[in-house]
Amino acid sequence: MTRRIRIGGAQMGAISRSDSKKEIVDRLIALLRQAGEKGCELVVFPELALSTFFPRWYAERDGMDGYFEDGMPNAATLPLFEEARRLGIGFSLGYAELVREDGRVRRFNTTVLVERNGEIVGKYRKIHLPGHAEYEPERSHQHLEKRYFEVGNTGFQVWDAFGGRVGMAICNDRRWVETYRVMGLQDVELILIGYNTPVADSLSGESETLRMFHNHLTMQAGAYQNSTWVVGVAKAGVEDGHRLMGGSVIVAPTGEIVAQAMTEGDELIVADCDLDRCRYYKSHIFNFAAHRRPEFYQRITSQTGVE
């Protein structure tokens, strides 16, 4: 008997500054209903799915608080949770989280995992924050995640959900091998990743083709080297004059792409993911207990930069 789950990757098109929260949630619900019509049990939404990618603008550190959510679900997102519960579909949702912890206001780039009964069963806060904290005039556009978010404090956890072992990551996390390995060492079988990634890097001059290649390469390698399914879902299209890449994918434990978005708009990709496909590599070529040699890996955790 296989552990097969039908997963929908709910890519979103652009969200502008002028879009209301209701308009955005209505789009999420429309994608959720499409997923229900296709028999999906789990839907993956992008990073910052409730707002435009506001870190492209420079302001005071609390100047973007209007884009943050101070609870989940809240009045604006409750209709999404209720519809998901009615349909019996779980989902992951990325958003900007404002919370009071340790006696102060804290801001994180967050994703929650919601089971089919509408209950939140997991929360991840982004760890690998890209970009910079201060205005850099040489850039054609800013990338100020280090200004508006703290480094996440959840670690890379794995939850028992949807009949398997599920982990989460956000955008730039997908580029770091440690992201996948820490979850791989917890026997992860499904990693959900939302991203908002500019088509152009204002400093590197890399081509669109190369940037999309890197987008897929990192997720395919992470899937294969840890024998896990990976679902990477974009918010894409032109947001307030800035274009984000699409390329949402569902990747098998073999590293093969089994579903891929073809547009930069709202689009649902679907795949039947057999979690038992993770077993072969986990028990052979990537049998960690048999083959890893952590006594030679100490440099990975003992230093940050090159020495």
pLDDT tens per residue across span 151-192: 999 999 999 999 999 999 999 999 999 999 999 999 999 999
User: Given this model, what pLDDT does residue 167 score?
Assistant: 98
Indicate the pTM of the whole model: 0.97
- Point out the residues that are catalytic: 47, 126, 171
- Residue 301 has a CB neighbour count (10 Å cut-off) of 9
**Distance of CA 286 to CAs 105, 180, 191, 257, 291, Å?**
42, 13, 17, 20, 7
What tens digit of pLDDT does each residue of 224-273 get? Answer: 999 999 999 999 999 999 999 999 999 999 999 999 999 999 999 999 99
DSSP state of 137: T
What tens digit of pLDDT does each residue of 56-87 get? Answer: 999 998 999 999 999 999 999 999 999 999 99
219: Cβ–Cβ under 8 A, 6 or more apart, which residues? 174, 193, 230, 232, 249, 251
What tens digit of pLDDT does each residue of 95-139 get? Answer: 999 999 989 999 999 999 999 999 999 999 999 999 999 999 888
> How far, rounded to the nearest angstrom, does the alpha carbon of residue 144 sit from its chain's CA centroid?
18
User: Given this model, what pLDDT does residue 1 score?
Assistant: 58
Among 233, 225, 227, 221, CA closest to 274: 227
**Distance of CA 262 to CAs 45, 249, 269, Å?**
16, 10, 9
What gap in Å lies between CA 79 and CA 22, rounded to an integer? 9
